[in-house]
Structure 1
Amino acid sequence: MTPEIQDRVAAISDAIRHLTVLTDQARMLRLRRANRVRTIYGSLAIEGNTLSEAQITAILEGRRVIAPPREVQEVKNALSAYDRFEIWQPEIEKDLLEAHRILMTGLIDEAGIYRHGGVGVMAGRQVIHMAPPAERVPQLMGDLFSWLTTTDAHPLIASSVFHYEFEFIHPFADGNGRMGRLWQSLILARWNPLFADIPVESLVFEHQNEYYRALQESTRLTDSAPFISFMLRMILAAVSVSVPQDAPQVSPQVSKLLTVIRGEMSREALQSVLGLSDRKSFRRRYLLPALADGLIEMTLPDKPNSRLQQYRLTDKGRQWLKQYGDG
């Protein structure tokens, strides 16, 4: 326990309390769905899956997606696994084996059972971690579950320790990374159900190199503190972006503009898709207010009058569209 770890535990706890008292159920349901997609996208992207959030959403809705069959299977498996969050207990070993079976069905032969051979973690051609021998895995995992059952550590700490030790043991032939992240989320969800839909994995994906460095540093020091500190930083960031903000005061005209922007579009293209012919009215009622609120931006901000000027959504605009748009 370092001062930094203690501060982050306190900050996450405060943020979760704020998120818990929100009562706008419709907004939260929409946010939960978006976060579930982000969670699965982040966790699978770390493992090399190339499907986008839009494609994962399509699979979630039962629509056909043209993509490599293995990657589609990975998404379907992950959706099935996260649907079982309310059933599994993080202290029960057979639940972890079932989760691995669901996550890896159709992907490997040893789905749902501990590995029978040696494994190592590679960085390119370099082995950065040799996992314990296969014959030791059942005992090591049994010890880890016994610790999880009896520890009085805060769930934020306990979940991070479990995650680190799980990755050190590397108990499965494949799927260890996604299982470690899944089980940390499950431990956290038993502390507060909101964690079932907080996209910690998407933040880990954005800081993937740091994730692996933190694992290596904890192994080098034989101290899980570096990994705990890293994960708490990711959890705090994920909780912070999951708190729905009050909706900006957006006019009907700006709302319409935000819903029609696709990538980068010129003024002429935007007017055309909106069915507007009056250039001055479009600029005054649609374009300028959206720019002023930071919901869209120019592709050439230093040349506002350029004939090549186009407009695109900002992060703020995309977030508004996710939470308050009709799509």
Structure 2
Amino acid sequence: MTAYNPPVTLTPLIVSLATDIGAACVRLEFQQDQALKLRRINRIRTIQGSLAIEGNTLSEAQITAILEGKRVIAPPEEILEAQNAIACYRELSHWLSWQESHLKAAHNMLMKGLLPTAGAYREEGVGVMQGTKVIHMAPPASRVPLLVKQLLDWLKKTSLPPLIASCVFHYEFEFIHPFADGNGRMGRLWQTLIMSQWNPLFANIPVESLVHDHQADYYQAINLSTARSDSAPFVEFMLQMILSAIKQALIPQVTPQVTPQVTPQVTPQVTPQVTPQVRMLLKAVTGEVSREQLQLALGLQDRKSFRERYLQPALNASLIEMTLPEKPQSRLQRYRLTEAGLRQLNQLPH
């Protein structure tokens, strides 16, 4: 079997985020007692977040009730999805991330009663839809067994840090789309498994909950990585979610004096290490462009998400500016790079 090395550029942002996550993990390990107390609620948030991304409407309270064996009034399929996910996360420590039989067993458990072919690779072609638009055509079904074997073999042998490798695996798994359904849930579950094999703390850090809060950016990062044939944008996005999730887990132990210490450390990094969304925006600004042109260039349909996660942060950081600042709502409004934006753009990897 030919060895496969997934293409990923280790950008300065990836290295920086991985370093910050390592430091945050050390801090969290000092709070093990608190982490144990939060284990149950974080597991519930993890399950609720991962299911919600796929359209499940159950609340954290309802999933808690299911976990406790109580009766819940909700669509039977959504209840079954939650029951299966609970069973999977309980079994997490018994699986090896590079074992194909474990991967199939996990999918069988996750999709039991929901998919006739649970635990088996798809036998037909499949496309990932966004509304009525096909945004990704997965590889032919005939190639799936080989592609999965190559990916798992890479995962077992890679010299990449497990934190980064888990993100690369997650992207590659979604690209292959090996099962007829449940690929998103499986990709997130398996990334949690890979990270928890490196550091058991990750079994109880609700990264999925934050991914749900930034769902549009999650899919945008996948699409951008596919367009570039490089998983770096997705890795950057996931590492940001992981770091944020750890910081939230640290919040219960934060003392009043921490806030003034954190702010000056974070603020200077904003300009040299802008978010992946602002980076995308800067690369899309050519000359003077309208909001509609920027959204089109970035492949974004949600105007609110674009404004809050892309446009406004770039304006706030003075990386772009309005051509008509005195008329922010004008239909003639255009946006252009500032000198700071040009400097930042020149520093970004191409």
Task: Mark the CA change 1:127 to 1:86 in structure 2 (over 3 Å): closer, same or farther.
Answer: same
CA contact (8 A) 2:28 2:250 kept: yes
Task: Mark the CA change 1:105 to 1:153 in structure 2 (over 3 Å): closer, same or farther.
Answer: same
Offset of residue 23 of structure 1: 4.2
Offset of residue 244 of structure 1: 4.9
In the TM superposition, what whole-angstrom CA distance separates every residue of 1:49-82 from its partner, at most 9, and x where no partner exists?
0000000000111111011000000000000000
In the TM superposition, what whole-angstrom CA distance separates every residue of 1:88-118 from its partner, at most 9, and x where no partner exists?
0101111010000000000010100100111
In the TM superposition, what whole-angstrom CA distance separates every residue of 1:261-300 from its partner, at most 9, and x where no partner exists?
xxxxxxxxxxxxxxxxxxxxxxxxxxxxxxxxxxxxxxxx
Offset of residue 20 of structure 1: 1.1
Q: Does 1:12 align with 2:58?
A: no
Distance 1:226 1:28 in 2: 30
Q: Which residue of 2 aligns with 1:197?
A: 204
Say which of 222, 228, 231 aligns to 2:235. 228
Distance 1:243 1:207 in 2: 20
Distance 1:68 1:189 in 2: 32
Say which of 94, 98, 101 aligns to 2:108. 101
CA contact (8 A) 2:107 2:182 kept: yes
Q: Which residue of 1 aligns with 2:82?
A: 75
1:127 match: secondary structure: strand
1:85 match: secondary structure: helix
Amino acid across the alignment from 2:25: I
Amino acid across the alignment from 2:98: E
Distance 1:5 1:28 in 2: 26
Distance 2:193 2:47 in 1: 14
Offset of residue 30 of structure 1: 2.7
Offset of residue 13 of structure 1: 0.4
Distance 2:85 2:37 in 1: 19
**1:1-327 map, 5 Å:** 1-24=10-33, 27-246=34-253
Amino acid across the alignment from 1:112: G
RMSD: 1.3
Offset of residue 21 of structure 1: 2.1
**Aligned residue pairs, count:** 247
Show structure 1 runs of 5+ residues with no match.
250-327
Distance 1:166 1:113 in 2: 15
Task: Mark the CA change 1:247 to 1:150 in structure 2 (over 3 Å): closer, same or farther.
Answer: closer
Task: Mark the CA change 1:248 to 1:5 in structure 2 (over 3 Å): closer, same or farther.
Answer: closer
Offset of residue 124 of structure 1: 0.3
1:122 match: secondary structure: strand
Amino acid across the alignment from 1:8: L
Instruction: Provide the TM-score with structure 1 as the length reference.
Output: 0.74
Q: Which residue of 2 aligns with 1:270?
A: none
Distance 2:201 2:35 in 1: 10
CA contact (8 A) 2:177 2:183 kept: yes
Instruction: Provide the TM-score with structure 2 as the length reference.
Output: 0.69
Offset of residue 28 of structure 1: 2.9
Distance 2:251 2:105 in 1: 34
Task: Report the structure number with the largest CA radius of gyration.
Answer: 1
Distance 2:67 2:36 in 1: 15
Distance 1:49 1:232 in 2: 25
Distance 1:214 1:134 in 2: 24
Amino acid across the alignment from 1:22: Q
Distance 1:242 1:183 in 2: 21
Distance 1:13 1:247 in 2: 18
